[in-house]
Chains A and B, each alone.
Chain A
C-alpha cells in the first residue's frame, strides 16, 4: 500500500461523528475523518463553514470557549481525547497549534521557543534547553536568521519570521501533530512560499493539518484534502482527486471558484 492510497492504515487521529455547538448553534455536523501520520491534510471551504472550529476540537482549544460543546469521538493514537482521563495539558503538548495571525509572546526569541519545554519540564538545565531551542529553530528554518539575536524580542521580527517562530515554538515541545489555521493568510507571497517549503520539510516528522482558504496552497502542500461546507464534510480524499476529479457537485463548484 503506497502512501497516497486513500485508505489510511494507521491514522494518527480519528474523528467519528463529531458535532460542535456554540450554545444552541451547531457549527459542525457529524464529521468523520482520519488524519494520516505521514501526511499533510488540508481543510478547505468557504469562510464560516467550520474549518477552524473542527481544527480546534482536535486539540480541545474549544474548551477555552465557554459556549462550545463537542460531541462524538476524537482519538489520538486510539485514545479518546475527550475522555475524562485525558489530561488536556498533555494533549496540547502532543497536538501543537499555529494560528492565523502570528502571535509570538512579548519575550525574547529564545524564551518564546523555550516557553513550552520549560513549562513541560523537558529541559532539566540550561544546556539542554539551548539544544532544544536550537533544534526547533533549525527545523523551523529560522536559525540562520536569528542565531545572533536570540535575546531580541520575538515581536521585533517580520511577520513571516514571527510565524516561523510560532512554528518553532510548537515544534520545541516535540508534538506528534501540528495543526495550522490559515498560517499564511497574514503573510506576503515570499513569506508564504517559505512556510510552504517548511511544511514540505516537516512532512513525515509530524502529522500536519492545515486550514487554508487558498486552494492553490492546498494543492501545493497537501496529500489529503477535506472540503467543508456549512458545517458538514462534503468530500474527503486525495488532494489530486479532489482538485482534478471531484465527486460532489458542491466541491466542483467551490474549486472552480463558483463561490467562497
Chain B
C-alpha cells in the first residue's frame, strides 16, 4: 500500500459529488417539509457541502504528499539496518533511493547490495504513513462534509457562503505567483549570504578583477566591476543607441504618417519580432554580425578586435529591443491628446514641427519610462551575450573587444562540474541577486514615471 495522491484526489472528488447531491437533496427536503422558501437555490447548498468536503481534505492531501516522504525516511533511518549506512552524502542518498524504489514497487530488485536490508523498513514505513494519511484525509473530508450538511436550513445563506469560498480560492490562486517570486528571492538571498561569508560584498561590488578560475596558486578574485561595466556597455549603451532612435522613428512613423493599412500590417509584424526566441538572435549575433564586425575592425586597424564583441551583442540586443521601445513610444505618443496636435497645427506649424516640438516632448516622460523598462530587459538578457559577447572580463571601452556580462558569467559559473557550495557557484547567486535588485529598481522607477505620465493626461 503506497500513498497515491492522484487516486486519493479522485476519491475525495467522488465524495464531494455525493456531498453535492446530498446537500441539494436535503435542502429540497427541508424546504418541502417546512413549507418555507429557501434563501438559496438547492445547488448552492450542494456546492456548500461539496466544498467543505473537498477543500480541507485536498489541502491536507497536498501538505501530506510533501511531508510524508521525509517522515518515512526519518523512520527508516531510525531502524537498526540504517546504522551501517555510509555517512557521506551522495552514496547514502543513492542507497536510500534504491531501497525506496524497490519498496514502492517501481523496481524489481535492488541495484546496490547495501540497499537490500533497507527495503523492508521502507515498505513498512511507507505502509504506515500511507494509512495514517488516508485515514486523516477521510476523517477531514467527512468532518467537513458533515459540518456543512448539518448547517443546511431553509434560511441558510448558502449562496453567500459559496461565493465567499470561491473568492478565497481565487485569492489563493493569485497568491501562488507572488509567493513563488518571494520564494525565489529568498533562496537567492540565502545563497548570496553564504557567498558573502566567503567574499565580502565590497569586493563583489567594487573589485576590479574578475578571476574565479585562477585556481590554487592564486586565490580566486570576485571583483564584479568588469562584469557590471560589460553589462552596461552592451545593455544600456550600445543596445540603446540602436533601439532608442530606431524605435522612436518607428513609433513616429506609425502614429503620424503611416496609412491605416500600413499600420495594420507593420504593428503585428513588430510584435512577431518581439516574440522571436532570444537564442535565434544569439545565432544571428554570433554567426553573422560578430564576424562581419571583426573584419570591419581589422580593416580599420582597431586593436583587440575579437570575433566575440560587445558591439555585436549590443547591436543585436538593440534590434531585439526595438519593438519594445517602439510600442512603448507608440502608446505614449498616442496618449498625447489630439487637442495638443490640433493646437500646434492651428498655429501654422507643419506636421513635422508639431511632432518634434510638441508631440515628442509631451510624450517624453512616457517614452523615458519605456526606455528604462527596455534597459532593465536588456541587462537581464542572457542568450545573446552568452553566444556573442564572450566570457573574458575586460574593462574596455573598445566596443570591438570581447567583454562579459553578469548574465553570461552566471551561466558560466553554474555550468560545468562544480561543488555546490564552493565560492564559485555561490557567486552566481550573489550576481543574480545584484541583477535582480537593479532590474527591480529600474522597473519601479519606470512604472512610476509611466503612471504619473498617464495621470497627467487623465
Interface positions of A (Cβ within 8 A of B):
59, 61, 64, 88-93, 96-97, 99, 101, 103-107, 115-116, 119-120, 155, 166, 169-170, 173
CB closest residue in chain A, given B345: A64
Inter-chain contacts of B347 with A (CB < 8 A): 92-93, 96, 115-116, 119, 169-170, 173
- How many whole Å from A91's CB to the nearest CB in chain B? 8
Is the CB of B337 closer than 8 A to any CB of chain A? yes
Inter-chain contacts of B362 with A (CB < 8 A): 105-106
New contact pairs (13) apart from A92-B348, A169-B347, CB-CB < 8 Å: A61-B342, A64-B342, A89-B349, A96-B347, A103-B340, A105-B343, A106-B361, A106-B456, A115-B358, A119-B347, A119-B348, A155-B456, A173-B347
Is the CB of B173 closer than 8 A to any CB of chain A? no
Digitize B335-376: 1 where CB-to-A-CB distance is under 8 Å, 0 elsewhere: 001011111111111100100011001100000000000000
Interchain CA distance A155-B339 in the complex, whole Å: 13
Task: Judge whether B345 and A166 touch: CB under 8 Å.
Answer: no
Interface residues on B, range: 10 to 19
Find B346's partner among A59, A101, A107, A155 (CB 8 Å cutoff). A59
Inter-chain contacts of A101 with B (CB < 8 A): 339
Interchain CA distance A215-B345 in the complex, whole Å: 29
Inter-chain contacts of A120 with B (CB < 8 A): 348
Interchain CA distance A116-B344 in the complex, whole Å: 8
Task: Judge whether A99 and B343 touch: CB under 8 Å.
Answer: yes
Inter-chain contacts of A169 with B (CB < 8 A): 343, 347
Interchain CA distance A91-B350 in the complex, whole Å: 12
Interface positions of B (Cβ within 8 A of A):
337, 339-350, 353, 357-358, 361-362, 456
Inter-chain contacts of B358 with A (CB < 8 A): 105, 115
- A/B interface sample: 6 pairs, CB < 8 A: A89-B348, A96-B347, A106-B362, A115-B347, A115-B349, A169-B343
Find A105's partner among B340, B345, B348 (CB 8 Å cutoff). B340
Inter-chain contacts of A59 with B (CB < 8 A): 346
CB closest residue in chain B, given A104: B343
Interchain CA distance A96-B343 in the complex, whole Å: 10
Find B342's partner among A103, A104, A107, A170 (CB 8 Å cutoff). A103
Task: Judge whether B337 and A103 touch: CB under 8 Å.
Answer: yes
CB closest residue in chain A, given B351: A64
- How many whole Å from B262's CB to the nearest CB in chain A? 13
- How many whole Å from B348's CB to the nearest CB in chain A? 4
CB closest residue in chain B, given A61: B346
Task: Judge whether A99 and B348 touch: CB under 8 Å.
Answer: no
Interchain CA distance A33-B349 in the complex, whole Å: 28
Given A89-B348, A89-B350, A103 contacting B357 (CB threshold 8 A): no
A-B interface, 6 closest residue pairs, ranked by CB to CB distance from nearest: A92-B348, A103-B339, A93-B348, A97-B346, A116-B347, A103-B343
Interchain CA distance A107-B362 in the complex, whole Å: 8
Task: Judge whether A96 and B346 touch: CB under 8 Å.
Answer: yes
Inter-chain contacts of B339 with A (CB < 8 A): 99, 101, 103
Specify which of B337, B341, B346, B353 lies most central, judged by the most chain A CB atoms within 10 Å of its CB: B346
Interchain CA distance A89-B353 in the complex, whole Å: 11
Interchain CA distance A195-B343 in the complex, whole Å: 18
Task: Judge whether B348 and A90 touch: CB under 8 Å.
Answer: yes
Specify which of B345, B347, B357, B361 lies most central, judged by the most chain A CB atoms within 10 Å of its CB: B347
Interchain CA distance A92-B341 in the complex, whole Å: 14
Interchain CA distance A165-B347 in the complex, whole Å: 13
- How many whole Å from B53's CB to the nearest CB in chain A? 60
Given A61-B342, A64-B342, A119-B353, A107 contacting B361 (CB threshold 8 A): yes
Task: Judge whether B342 and A99 touch: CB under 8 Å.
Answer: yes
- How many whole Å from B59's CB to the nearest CB in chain A? 54
Given A103-B340, A105-B340, A92 contacting B357 (CB threshold 8 A): no
Inter-chain contacts of A166 with B (CB < 8 A): 343
Interchain CA distance A90-B350 in the complex, whole Å: 10
Interchain CA distance A88-B347 in the complex, whole Å: 10
Inter-chain contacts of B349 with A (CB < 8 A): 89, 115-116, 119
Inter-chain contacts of B346 with A (CB < 8 A): 59, 61, 92, 96-97, 99, 170
Interchain CA distance A116-B357 in the complex, whole Å: 11
Task: Judge whether A61 and B343 touch: CB under 8 Å.
Answer: no
Inter-chain contacts of A92 with B (CB < 8 A): 345-348
Inter-chain contacts of A107 with B (CB < 8 A): 361
Interchain CA distance A91-B346 in the complex, whole Å: 9
Inter-chain contacts of B348 with A (CB < 8 A): 88-93, 116, 119-120, 173
CB closest residue in chain B, given A117: B347
Interchain CA distance A128-B275 in the complex, whole Å: 54
Inter-chain contacts of B344 with A (CB < 8 A): 105, 115
Interchain CA distance A109-B357 in the complex, whole Å: 15
Interchain CA distance A106-B343 in the complex, whole Å: 12
Specify which of A59, A61, A99, A105 lies most central, judged by the most chain B CB atoms within 10 Å of its CB: A105
- How many whole Å from B342's CB to the nearest CB in chain A? 7
Inter-chain contacts of A115 with B (CB < 8 A): 344, 347, 349, 357-358
Interchain CA distance A99-B357 in the complex, whole Å: 20
CB closest residue in chain B, given A166: B343
Specify which of B341, B342, B343, B345 lies most central, judged by the most chain A CB atoms within 10 Å of its CB: B343
Interchain CA distance A101-B361 in the complex, whole Å: 20
Given A105-B362, A106-B362, A61 contacting B345 (CB threshold 8 A): yes
Inter-chain contacts of B456 with A (CB < 8 A): 106, 155
Interchain CA distance A170-B346 in the complex, whole Å: 9
Inter-chain contacts of B345 with A (CB < 8 A): 61, 64, 92
CB closest residue in chain B, given A169: B347
Interchain CA distance A104-B337 in the complex, whole Å: 11
